[in-house]
């Protein structure tokens, strides 16, 4: 097994009655095959994908080899508008997230749960990757661009857990920690 990346990848998905309005994939990379750094990949309905980061090699790799393959983006228009070289500042802990990158600001919090997740089969186009992380669904999230809050809201979903009398909640917005991607 070869480790590709160690860090975190919280994701903020905002939705309305028609589906996703905006999705922010925030990368906090402590170590990777393309160096460390923070990257923000921002998808908005009807607009090109924005990729922001100081390490453009890392930003390109994360966008092309990871983010565009995530299930949240399946069926959505994926036209990258280019790479924006800018500092991405991230404050992430087990209670919330705050991000600034150029004219973009993101905030998320009100964690519902903290649980581990691991899979040896995470499909990436023709590739399969392995993933382990701590997953933390949240109830509150906002994305602002140029000072304007983007439309849509966080959507929660629940499902029966393996344990009788319990329920696992998932969210269109979540934090992660201790994330390891490998092949």
Number of domains comprising the chain: 1
Of 64, 2, 53, the C-alpha closest to 28 is 53
For 86-120, write each residue's pLDDT tens digit.
999 999 999 999 999 999 999 999 999 999 999 99
In this prediction the pTM is: 0.93
Instruction: Tell me the three-class secondary structure of the chain, residue by residue.
Output: CCEEEEEECCEEEEEECCEEEEEEEEEEEEEECCCCEEEEEEEECCCCEEEEECCHHHHHHHHHHCHHHCHHHCCCCCCEEEEEECCEEEEECCCEEEEEECCEEEEEEEECCCEEEEEEEEEECCEEEEEEEEEEEEEEEEEEECCEECCCECCEEEEECCCCCCEEEEECEEEEEEEEEEC
**pLDDT for res 157:** 86
Domain of 166? Answer: 3-182
**pLDDT for res 161:** 55
């Amino acid at each position: 097994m070869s480790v590709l990346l160690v860090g975190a990848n919280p994701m903020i998905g905002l939705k309305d009655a028609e589906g996703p309005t905006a999705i922010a994939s925030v990368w906090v990379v402590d170590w990777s095959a393309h160096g460390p750094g923070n990257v923000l990949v921002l998808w908005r309905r009807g607009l090109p994908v924005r990729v922001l980061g100081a390490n453009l090699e890392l930003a390109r790799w994360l966008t092309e080899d990871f983010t565009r393959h995530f299930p949240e983006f399946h069926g959505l228009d994926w036209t990258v508008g280019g790479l924006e070289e800018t500092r991405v500042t991230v404050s992430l802990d087990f209670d919330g997230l705050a991000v600034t990158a150029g004219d973009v600001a993101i905030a998320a919090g009100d964690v519902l749960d903290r649980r581990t997740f691991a899979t040896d089969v995470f499909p990436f186009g023709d590739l399969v990757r392995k993933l382990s992380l701590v997953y933390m669904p949240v109830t509150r999230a906002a994305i602002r661009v140029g000072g304007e809050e983007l439309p849509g809201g966080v959507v929660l979903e629940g499902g029966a857990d393996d344990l009788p009398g319990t329920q696992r909640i998932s969210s269109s917005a979540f934090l992660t920690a201790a994330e390891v991607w490998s092949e």
